[in-house]
Amino acid sequence: MRVVVGSGDCRVTLIVCDQCIPKILDDGVQVPRALLDLDTRVSLAGENIAGLLLSRVVGGEPLREMIERYRLRVAAEELLGLYSAVDGMISEMLLSPLYAPARRSWLLGDPYWGLFHASSEQVLQEYEDLLEKSGILVGGKVNREAARSTYARYKLQARRILSVASLRLGRIARRLVATVLPAIKRIACPAPRYDASSLVALPEGSYYEDGLDEVLSKLFGKHECRRPSILSSSYVCSTTRGQVVVKRYAAREAKWLPASMASPPGAKMIVSAPTRLATEYVMLRRIRRVLPTPRIIAVIRSSGGPIMVREYLEGEPILDSRDPALWETAGCALAKLHRAGIALIDSNPGNMLFTGDTIAIIDAEQASPFTPEAGAWDLVVFTAYSILFSVDKSLILSALHGYKKCGPDLLRKLLPLVESGRITGRLKLLAYPLYSQTISILRLLEES
């Protein structure tokens, strides 16, 4: 059977036969059908042959079941891989049906990426129909359960196949790659300069699958980054278009372990870097309906973990201020968020910035929908952080009075939860001196 992969000048001929040996042809390669089938199922030849089937295939009707099975497997693997990299943020993404095959072709490199790119417009409808029919991608949105189901089905098949595959088959596969791969690599089909991430759209900012320096160069050209402090997971970068903030979520992942242990079940702090990225992406935009937040410029899926590039906001961190009026404004801002149905969970006053006329929130990676437990925890964390950074008690009380002024009904509900120990039980066990000081200040508020 003779099939043509690719389009125009960027194509290769694939001869698939029932009983033959791998062979280099003038315009392509010859492969046994059985080994091609195993490569599509379990990557027996490292997808060096199967990878061709991601592109346009002409004359491959007898191989249609094999081609669709392989394309579905690739889609499930790539989309679940995307989910593991960005967690719930995947629900914010609008993906082209070509994203998964394009990314796999891009990873396989030259000439697969070039072959796919040359025929991408011609296979768009094929992928759209296949992924819609399987339920993996509906209207550009990933159905995670359908992807998991498809992945589990092919994983099970792979285990069954590998359990009966002999070492002899493995040797044949290695010979196949050694014989055929040089022939495929010589195809004059250069890879395009862009990557598969251009097939993903976000409601705010752009998505990239590249190194941070490459992305910053694409966005701004010349740039220079510095970390404000050794404990910070964010960098401030000077660019030709002003300053931006770069946040690496995996850089300080371990610091959230003790915080997660101290937080109560109703306001559990998140450790996972992808989940914190997803939370922050959603909550920065939601908080902005109430208080200013930095605009999101880019989200990067990198080998070192997820990264966000966002706007740099000018202002004075509340934690650095000694002005009681500003602390009172910060407390009122926290009450406004709670009234709007949002809790920060990590309500560190260092993440609150006075911009001249209002309070901006510059960190939302732990934020969540408001519940009484989450709101009470916000009061505890705000007070405890202030104590840790040696803020004068009068300033902390100014902030808490600001909260009381803007949310008196809320305070009446939250303080009893703090006093009962439902919220602070773990903090009491893990850091009793801090717990004791925090409770004493909150009791002063209750008594005033």
- Asked whether 320 and 386 are in contact (CB, 8 A), the reply is no
Q: Which two tokens stand for residue 70?
A: 């392989």
Rounded to 5°, angle at Cα 49 from 44 and 54 = 115
Q: Which residues contact 408 (CB under 8 A, 6 or more apart)?
A: none
Assess whether 158 and 66 both reside in one domain.
Answer: yes
Assess whether 231 and 373 both reside in one domain.
Answer: no
Assess whether 365 and 276 both reside in one domain.
Answer: no
Parallel, antiparallel or unpaired: strands 352-354 and 316-317: antiparallel
| CATH number of residue 427's parent domain | 1.10.510.10
Assess whether 223 and 180 both reside in one domain.
Answer: no
The pLDDT, as a whole number, for residue 180 is 66
Assess whether 384 and 293 both reside in one domain.
Answer: no
The pLDDT, as a whole number, for residue 166 is 47
The range of the structural domain enclosing residue 163 comes to: 2-200
| Residue 240 maps to a domain | yes
Q: What is the Cα–Cα distance from 107 to 94, expressed in whole angstroms?
A: 21
Assess whether 282 and 402 both reside in one domain.
Answer: no
- Asked whether 187 and 118 are in contact (CB, 8 A), the reply is no
The pLDDT, as a whole number, for residue 207 is 97
| 117: phi then psi, degrees, rounded to nearest 5 | -60, -40
| Residue 79 maps to a domain | yes
Per-residue pLDDT of the chain (448 residues; tens, 9 = 90+): 899 998 888 888 888 988 877 777 777 788 888 888 888 888 877 888 899 999 999 998 999 999 999 999 999 999 999 999 999 999 999 999 999 999 999 998 888 999 999 999 999 999 999 999 999 999 999 999 999 998 888 876 666 665 555 445 566 666 666 666 666 766 778 778 888 999 999 999 999 998 999 999 999 999 999 987 766 778 999 998 899 999 999 987 888 888 899 899 889 999 999 999 999 999 999 999 999 999 999 999 998 899 999 999 999 999 999 999 999 999 999 999 999 999 999 999 999 999 988 999 999 999 999 999 999 999 999 999 999 999 999 999 999 999 999 998 998 899 998 888 888 888 888 888 988 999 999 888 877 6
- The number of distinct structural domains making up the chain is 3
| Residue 205 maps to a domain | no
Assess whether 124 and 254 both reside in one domain.
Answer: no
Q: Considering the entire predicted model, what is its pTM?
A: 0.90
Assess whether 183 and 217 both reside in one domain.
Answer: no
Assess whether 246 and 186 both reside in one domain.
Answer: no
3-state secondary structure of 381: helix
| Residue 206 maps to a domain | no
Assess whether 292 and 354 both reside in one domain.
Answer: no
Final residue before a domain boundary, out of 153, 178, 200: 200
Q: What is the Cα–Cα distance from 362 to 294, expressed in whole angstroms?
A: 6
Q: Which residues contact 441 (CB under 8 A, 6 or more apart)?
A: 383, 387, 393, 396, 397, 400
Q: How far is CA 404 from the centre of its chain?
A: 37
Q: Which residues contact 413 (CB under 8 A, 6 or more apart)?
A: 372, 375
Q: What is the Cα–Cα distance from 196 to 209, expressed in whole angstroms?
A: 8
The pLDDT, as a whole number, for residue 8 is 84
- Asked whether 141 and 89 are in contact (CB, 8 A), the reply is no
Assess whether 416 and 320 both reside in one domain.
Answer: yes
| CATH number of residue 273's parent domain | 3.30.200.20
Q: What is the Cα–Cα distance from 435 to 117, expressed in whole angstroms?
A: 59
Final residue before a domain boundary, out of 248, 283, 311: 311
User: CA nearest 140: which of 198, 184, 90, 190?
Assistant: 90
3-state secondary structure of 14: strand
Final residue before a domain boundary, out of 173, 200, 227: 200
Complete DSSP assignment for 84-148: HHHGGGGGG-EE-TTHHHHHHHHHH-TTHHHHHHHHHHHHHHHHHHHHHHHTSEETTEE-HHHHH
The pLDDT, as a whole number, for residue 269 is 94
The pLDDT, as a whole number, for residue 428 is 83
Q: Which two tokens stand for residue 422?
A: 């439902």
Assess whether 14 and 95 both reside in one domain.
Answer: yes
